Every structure is written in C-alpha cells, then in structure tokens.
Amino acid sequence: MKKNTLTVVFWCSLLLASVFILWGIFLPENVESVLGAVDGFVATNLGWVYILATTGFVLLALFLIFGPFGKITLGKPDEKPEYSYFTWFAFLFTAGMGVGLVFFGVTEPLTHYYSPPTTEANSIAAAEESLLYTLFHWGFHPWATYAIVALALSYFKFRHNSPALISSAFTPLIGKHAQGGIGHSIDILAVFATIFGIATSLGLGASQITAGLSYSFEGIENSTFTTLVVIAVVTVAFILSAASGVDKGIRYLSWMNIVVAIALMIFVFLLGSSIQMIESFTTTVGNYLQNLPSMTFGMNAFTGEREFLNDWTLFYWAWWIGWSPFVGTFIARVSRGRTIREFVTGVMGVPVLFSAIWFSIFGVAGLEMDANQSGGLYQLIMDQGNEVALFAFLESYPMAPVIMGIAILLIASFFVTSADAATFVLGMLTTGGRLNPSVKVKIAWGLILAATAAALLISGGLEALEMAMLIAAFPFVFVVLLMAISLMKALSSEYDILKLERKHRDWDPRYQKESHQELEEMKEEFDKNIPEESIQGDGESKDSK
C-alpha cells in the first residue's frame, strides 16, 4: 500500500461527516428537533444498555488485573515500554479527560449540591453526595471502557502485528470478514463516534475559553460567534501541533498540561481549607468504594425520577463510550511493551486517583466559596452557564488575573492536545491502521472536527453537543462489547499455548515429544484467528521484515 493511500473508510466517513455539517449549518432548528427526539428515546428506553455495558467493562478490567492473563506482554515477550511512566501517564491524562476535569471541576459538585439525586438539597448530606456522584462519573467506569478498547487494539497490533484498526480486534469472531465490508463498517462507526465525542469536548472547551475571555476582559462578548472564532484559532494551533507527530507536539504539550494542572490544583489546595479537602478525599473514596454497586446499577425504576440519571449519568456513560475509540486507539499507540496487568492497573488506577484528588480540592473549594457568597456562585452558573464557574471561582484568589490567564491557557492547551490526538487517531483509522498518518490526512480531520463542533453549537449550543454524543455512542456500545468478547477469546487461546510451552520447557523430553504435535496444531489454529498486517507504520509490508 502506498504511503498516502486513503481507504474506503476515509471517504465514507468524510461523506457522512460533511452531510451532518451541512445539515447543521443550513437547517439548525431541524437538527436540534431531530436530536432532541432521538436523544429522549434513547435515554428513556435504552439507558439500561449503557448501565449494563459499562458495568461489564469494569468487571472485565478487574478480571484482567487479577486473572491469569496479566503477565502477557503487549509486544514481544522481552520488549520494554516505549515511554516512561511520567510520559505515559501524561498521555493518559491529556487524551482521556483533561478538558472535562477543568470544565466540571467546580461546577459539577456545586450543581449536585443544589440538585442531588437522593438527598435533601443544600444540606450536609447533599455536599457529601455531590462529591460521591462526581467521582462516580469520573471513576472506574470511563477508564475501564478505555482500557478494554485500548487493550484489544494494543494486543492485536503489538503482539501479533495486526493493523491498528478497531476492526482488527474482530478477526477471532468473524475471520476474514474483518478485512472486508463488515470490518470497514465497524471502522466507519468508530470514526463517527470519535467525531462526535471529540466535537463535544471541543465545544465544551471553546465555550469555557470564550467565557473566560469574556469574564476577564471587557468588550469580549460571551456569544456563539466568539466561540466560533475561538474554535477557528485553536484549530490552527492543533493542526500545527498534529503536523509534528506524537514524539514532539503531543508529548511536550502533555507534559506541560499535567505540570500546569497539578500546579493549579496545589495553588487552590494551599489557599483553601486544606484539612477539609484531605478529609473530603478520604471520605469520598470510602463512600465511593462502599456504594459503587448500588450506584452502578441504579436506574430509579421504582421512584420514576429520571432527570439526574438522564442529564448526568447516562450522558457521561455515552460520552466515555463515544470517546473510547479515540482514547483507546491513542492509549494503545503509546502503551507498547507493558504487560496486561501493568497496563490495566495504570489505566484504571492512576487517572481515577487523580480525579478523586482533583474533585476533592476544587469541589470543596467551590462549595465553600458558594456558601461564603450565600449561593452567589451557583446563581452565577444558573444565569451565565457552567462555563463561567471556574473563572468566577478563581476571581476571588490572589493574583486572580494571572491565575485566570493560566487557566485559559491550560484549557486551550488541553483543547489542542485532545484535538491533536484525535486527528492522529482518525488518520490511523482511515489509512488502514498506519501508525504515522500523513499531515494532509490529519489536517483534513482537524477541519472536520472543528466544523462539526461549530455546526452543533449553531444548532443548539452545549445541549446539542450533549444530545449528539448520547446518540452517536449508542451503536458503538455493541462494538465495544464484541471487542471484549473477541479479546477474551484470543487471550484464552494464547494462554493455553503459553501454558503448554512452559510445560515443554519444564518437563522431560518424552513429554515434549508427545505434546509437540498438539502444540503445533494449537498454534496453527490460533494464527488463523489473528488479523493479517496490511501495512506497517513506515509503509513496509509484514513480509518485507
């Protein structure tokens, strides 16, 4: 395959995205109406699918950590990790949810405090529950979803030289059809989910940047037009970053993001109620672990109260699933050489711990500030939107203009790195799994992402972004479920082979002779169920190595 050859997945995905963008630009009211109807149906009648699927991903991730497959390496048996722990965690943090943590750090706990799911609003119990449900939404469920997708991709790519495509993980289930029409359809669906997942985040990030600029500088209006200008400016930035590749643009920006985010968190911690934040962290983590099963399966079937479930939990589950092809592919790309146990533990543990610390600090500080202002911070959110919460919060701190400026730059940087990684992943998915897609392809997807976010904002603002996310993610739920089944089938087969190989090494020569034929037959059967590599990252074929 030529280096810049585009696949049918590219052209079909481009056509679908272009149709939606034109629909949003020329018929915005119709888009909002259709999205609202479909969104309401999915949330009300099919929300249980999200609940059961994400629960299954958490259970499977725990099995992979403690089960027998943990020692299998994502690569050759003696291969070392490609990136250091710090760089790897920076990639996870930046690609996984950096923009969301900054956007929701103050506003989500405060909103839950005034509208809790089960307790009395504006009470001590509501404060405790607000942090509990915030951590629930940002805890094990999203990262288990990412881990399953990423593990499947990295296992087939780095251990068995398969193309870096979502469809490659389906070969143990559907055989050669994974390289045909069915496989192309799976990859197109992954691209479609990725576009709307990233467009939602870009819309949130751009809206918050606009709110920050408007809040900090007189004369800058917090309007859709200003947000579109922000999207245009940042699009240029992330296209320039994407052109430099993973080892330069994304890597250095990821380092900067995590350093600045930690510095901002420490700043708020030192100037706030530090002891209460620490105690809140331990209390929230304990409550989370204790109440995880009931929160996980809670559908409010007997009370009939669906507003919190639809507006928050189901939206988040859809968002994480919509992000999973993007984040999963990116995490897989940077995780070569790690064992399955190390991989899943890192992906599940470190980001969840960081989220718990982040929300304990910003949540407690936000609740305290709102109490000191007699509900003024929450009222401001109600009047001007969630996107102003962080800047109204930081305004009362020393050196407020500087800190608010740093916050705006941090959001912009997260915006850039998320979109940068997304163009990289979309390029991989639409060029047959090439590990280093061409700059032209990444630029094309950068423009598509920006245009999709703009079309959704024009059609109905942040609400339209959220509705599109819930809808686009629904069919991909079943893709991830089948990926998990396929991965377990392959791991089980390989584990049996590895056990027999160990016996070959440990047992006497007579046993080796008797079991040699059985081992060869097992290997032959296993190889039939592994996708063939069509290209390598540098354009070489598998046979040329």
Residue among 542, 532, 465, 461 at smallest CA distance from 222: 461
| Two tokens, residue 495 | 């584990």
Q: Which residue has the tokens 């799911």?
A: 117
Alpha helices in 217-339 (DSSP H): 224-242, 251-271, 274-297, 307-308, 314-333
Over residues 333-353, the pLDDT tens digits come to: 888 889 999 999 999 888 899
Burial per residue of 246-265, b for 16 or more beta-carbon CB atoms within 10 angstroms, e otherwise: beebbbebbebbbebbeebb
Which one has a higher pLDDT value, 284 or 86?
Answer: 284
Question: Does the global pTM surpass 0.75?
Answer: yes
Q: CB count, 10 Å around CB of 120?
A: 10
Residue among 508, 140, 501, 123 at smallest CA distance from 355: 140
Q: Which residue has the tokens 């976010």?
A: 453
Query: Using an 8 Å Cβ cutoff, are 468 and 199 in contact?
Result: yes
Over residues 172-209, the pLDDT tens digits come to: 888 888 778 888 888 888 888 888 777 777 777 788 78
User: Which pLDDT band holds residue 461 (cuts at 50, 70, 90)?
Assistant: low
For residue 505, the model assigns a pLDDT of: 63
Cα gap 505→520, rounded to integer Å: 15
* Mean of pLDDT values over 122-139: 93
Cα gap 386→115, rounded to integer Å: 14
For residue 246, the model assigns a pLDDT of: 52
For residue 544, the model assigns a pLDDT of: 38
Helix H or strand E encompassing 214? helix 181-216
Q: Which DSSP letter does residue 339 get?
A: B
Residue 232 CB contacts under 8 Å (≥ 6 apart), including other chains: 450
The SS3 of residue 525 is helix
Q: CB count, 10 Å around CB of 342?
A: 18
For residue 213, the model assigns a pLDDT of: 82
Please provide residue 12's backbone torsions phi and psi, each rounded to the nearest 5 degrees: -65, -45
**DSSP string of 47-81?**
HHHHHHHHHHHHHHHHHHHHSTTTT-BSSSTTPPP
* Mean of pLDDT values over 72-94: 82
Is residue 22 over pLDDT 90? no
Alpha helices in 337-399 (DSSP H): 340-372, 376-384, 389-394
User: Mean pLDDT for the chain?
Assistant: 82
The mean-pLDDT minimum among 39-43, 433-437, 540-544 falls in: 540-544
Cα gap 172→175, rounded to integer Å: 6
Is residue 540 over pLDDT 60? no
Is residue 357 over pLDDT 90? yes
Please provide residue 73's backbone torsions phi and psi, each rounded to the nearest 5 degrees: -90, 140
For residue 542, the model assigns a pLDDT of: 42
Is residue 285 over pLDDT 90? yes
The SS3 of residue 180 is coil
Cα gap 322→334, rounded to integer Å: 20
For residue 538, the model assigns a pLDDT of: 44
For residue 344, the model assigns a pLDDT of: 93
For residue 13, the model assigns a pLDDT of: 83
The mean-pLDDT minimum among 128-132, 389-393, 435-439 falls in: 435-439
For residue 541, the model assigns a pLDDT of: 41
Helices and strands of the chain, counted as H and E runs: 20, 0
Over residues 251-283, the pLDDT tens digits come to: 777 778 888 888 999 999 999 899 999 999 999
Cα separations (Å) of 504 from 40, 435, 508, 525, 541? 58, 36, 8, 19, 33
Cα gap 528→288, rounded to integer Å: 44
| Two tokens, residue 284 | 């929230």
For residue 535, the model assigns a pLDDT of: 42
User: Which pLDDT band holds residue 77 (cuts at 50, 70, 90)?
Assistant: confident
Which one has a higher pLDDT value, 497 or 383?
Answer: 383
For residue 387, the model assigns a pLDDT of: 78
For residue 191, the model assigns a pLDDT of: 85
User: Which pLDDT band holds residue 464 (cuts at 50, 70, 90)?
Assistant: low
Residue among 459, 448, 462 at smallest CA distance from 17: 448
Chain center to CA of 447: 20
* Mean of pLDDT values over 131-151: 93
Share of the chain above pLDDT 90, in %: 22
The SS3 of residue 154 is helix
